[in-house]
Chain A
Amino acid sequence: MIEIRNLSIHLGDFSLKNLNLSVKDREYFVILGPSGAGKTVFIECLAGLHKIKSGEIWINGDSVATLKPEERHVGYVPQDYVLFPFLNVAENIQFGLKHGKYDKQHRQKRLASLAELLGIDHLLRRDTFTLSGGERQRVALARALAISPRILLMDEPLSALDVQTSKYLRLELRRIHQELGVTTIHITHNHLEAEELADRMAIMSAGEIVQTGQPDEIFFSPQNEAVTRFTGSLNILDCSSCRELVPGLIEVNCSGLRIVIPHDEAEMQKIAISPRDIYISDILPPGPSLNRFKGTINTLDAGTATARVNVRVGNVALNAELPSELAKEMNLAIGQEVYLILRLRRLKALGNVEPNRSEKYGWYYQEII
Chain B
Amino acid sequence: MHRYLQGVRGDRAFRVITLGSLIIITGFFIVIIVSLLTYTDWKTIGSSFLAPETLFAIKLSLITASITTILAVAVAIPVAYAISKNEFFGKNLVDSLLDLPIVISPVAIGAALLVFFNTPLGNSINNNLLRFVFSVPGIVLAQFTIVSALAIRLLKSTFDNIDVRYEQVARTLGCSKPEAFFKVVIPLARNGLVASGILTWARAVGEFGATVTLAGATAMRTETLPISIFLNLSSANIEQAVALIVILVIISLVALLLVRLITGRRYSI
A interface with B by C-beta (< 8 Å):
44, 47-49, 68-70, 72, 74-76, 78, 82, 84-86, 95-96, 99-100, 129, 143-144, 147
Contact = CB atoms under 8 A, between A and B. Distances in A.
A48 to B, nearest CB: 7
Given A72-B172, A84-B166, 8 more contacts: A44-B168, A47-B172, A75-B172, A76-B169, A82-B165, A85-B269, A99-B174, A143-B173
Contacts of A82: 163, 165-166, 169
Counting chain A CB atoms within 10 Å of each CB, the highest count among B165, B176, B187 belongs to B165
8 contacts: A69-B171, A70-B174, A75-B172, A82-B169, A85-B269, A86-B187, A143-B173, A144-B172
B89 interface: no
A75 B184 CA distance: 18
B169 A78 contact: yes
Interface string B184-218: 10011010000000000000000000000000000
A70 B267 contact: no
A143 B166 CA distance: 13
B174 A78 contact: no
A95 B173 contact: yes
A48 B172 contact: yes
8 closest A-B pairs by CB = A96-B173, A99-B174, A69-B171, A76-B172, A86-B187, A85-B267, A82-B165, A69-B172
Contacts of A47: 168, 172
B41 interface: no
B190 A86 contact: yes
Interface of B: 163, 165-166, 168-176, 179, 184, 187-188, 190, 266-267, 269
A99 B170 CA distance: 10
Main secondary structure of the interface of B (DSSP, over half): helix
Contact of A69 (B166, B168, B267): B168
B239 to A, nearest CB: 49
A78 B167 CA distance: 12
Nearest to A75: B172
B190 to A, nearest CB: 7
Contacts of B174: 70, 96, 99-100, 147
A72, A78, A86: most-surrounded residue (chain B CB, <10 A): A86
A21 B166 CA distance: 28
Contacts of A68: 171, 176
Contact of B168 (A78, A99, A143, A147): A78
B165 to A, nearest CB: 5
A220 B168 CA distance: 38
Contacts of A78: 165, 168-169
A49 B170 contact: no
A129 B172 contact: no
B181 to A, nearest CB: 13
B169 A99 contact: no
Most A Cβ at <10 Å: residue of B174, B184, B187, B267 = B174
A44 B184 CA distance: 19
A129 B269 CA distance: 12
Contacts of A143: 173
A86 B172 contact: no
A49 B173 contact: no
B62 to A, nearest CB: 30
B168 A129 contact: no
A47 B170 CA distance: 12
A86 B171 contact: no
Contacts of B172: 47-49, 69-70, 72, 74-76, 144
Nearest to A155: B165
Contacts of A76: 168-169, 172
Contacts of B269: 85
A204 B174 CA distance: 29
